[in-house]
Every structure is written in structure tokens, then in C-alpha cells.
Amino acid sequence: MTEQKRAVILVSGGLDSTTVLAMALSQGYACYTLSFDYGQRHRGELLAAERVSVALGDVEHKVVKLNLDSIGGSALTDLSIAVPEEETQGIPITYVPARNTIFLSIALGWAEVLGAHDIFIGVNAVDYSGYPDCRPEYIAAFERMANLATKAGVEGQKITVHTPLMNLTKGEIIRAGAALGVDYALTVSCYQVTEDGLACGKCDSCRLRRQGFIDAGLEDPTRYRRYPAGGL
């Protein structure tokens, strides 16, 4: 009997990475899920990451602590920069400097330790075209680097970075996940989610998520904060 192939899956507790985890599981991988406590303001996502990893059936869930708030530079890691609640132009202030390179590098290290040759990340070039580290050419460059930089790569065991969501719209992602039985009520997408998992309904991430459920023709299970009259 051949041993089940292992994969490292980056999970944030959000809709996208949860769908990716479901996809990797459906492809028969033994999934090792990785999250980062990186000083993000939306701490509720760490709880969600743990929740979805357990619910979907990973082998092991690891949280690596990184104090990216010590360098700041993003509305997600610097509390003095507000999360925009309206659409903005160009690369948004919620971009975290070099985040995917930092995250993928740690995923690569863990993959090498585990003897895994596959890494899954839920980047998407359709809805987040403003983020330079979500583009296919970036992923191709990282994969090439990964194969140059590791013992596994040098010894001929190719490392692949899988991005199954790259060209899907949010609605298509939700439909794909729902078909795999994902319970999106477990996930959290809001950039400023409360400790108990209530979404703001106003940030970029909330808006995209809400539109995704509308496009998918499915009910949005997100729990939103209550606003006084005139709010949501």
C-alpha cells in the first residue's frame, strides 16, 4: 500500500482557503494546515482557521507566530491605519508587505520537514488583482525558487505550489466549495471581525464575500454585526 501523499495547505479561516482545503482533501492528500498569528487585527480568523481545519479533517493544524505588526505598513497589522470601508484605487492599504512570500516560505520549510511536495494556497487573480503576490507569474517564480532553494528540490523531488482558485470568481469558488460540502458558516473573511466572529459587512473582503453568495445563488451564512438604525 502506498503512503498517502502529504500536502501543506495555507489556511486563514476565510472562504477561499477553506475551499482550497476541501479541494486538496478531495484529491486524496493528507492535509497539514498552516496558519499565522502575524499580529493581524482580525484575530477571529485564527479561531476560524482552527475550526475549519478540524471540521474538514486535516491531519495536523499548526499556528506559527510572526510579529509582522513590528514592521507594520498595512491596515491589517498597524492599528493606527484604518481598514477602508469604501472601494479604493490601486493596491489597497490592506496589502500586507511581502505577506505571501513570507507565508509560502514557512509553508515550504514545513513541507520539506514533512516530506510533502505539494503546497496549496488560495490566491486569486480575479477579485484581488491589486495584490502583486496573488498573480500567476508570482506563484511560478516562487515555485522555481522553491525548487532551487531546498534539499528536496535539488534531489529531484519537484515541489509544486497549487493555486486552484487562481482564475475563479468568488461565486464560482463558493459553488465549488458548496459542492464539496463546505459549511461556510465556519469561515470568517472580514478584515475587522470581532473576537466572537461577527463581520463588519463594509470592508472590501466582506463586500466581495457577500457578492459571491449572491452570484452563487446561495444563502450567505455570515454573521454580521448589528448596526444602529441607518447601518447595514
Instruction: Catalog residues that contact Zn ion under the rule CB under 5 A.
Output: 190, 199-200, 203, 206
DSSP, collapsed to helix, strand or coil, labels residue 161 as strand
Strand order through the sheet with 30-37: 60-65, 30-37, 6-10, 118-120, 160-162
Least Å distance, CB 62 to Zn ion, is: 26
Least Å distance, CB 191 to Zn ion, is: 5
Residue 57's CB is within 10 A of a number of other CB atoms, namely: 11
Which residue's CB is nearer to Zn ion, number 42 or number 99? 42
Least Å distance, CB 224 to Zn ion, is: 9
Which residue's CB is nearer to Zn ion, number 181 or number 228? 228
What's the CA gap between 51 and 61, in Å, rounded?
A: 10
Least Å distance, CB 130 to Zn ion, is: 17
Half-sphere exposure of 191 (CA within 13 A, CB side): 24
Least Å distance, CB 192 to Zn ion, is: 6
Buried b (16+ CB within 10 A) or exposed e, 148-171: ebbebbeeeeebebbbbbbebbbb
What's the CA gap between 98 and 48, in Å, rounded?
A: 23
Which residue's CB is nearer to Zn ion, number 186 or number 203? 203
Which residue's CB is nearer to Zn ion, number 95 or number 120? 95
Which residue's CB is nearer to Zn ion, number 86 or number 155? 86
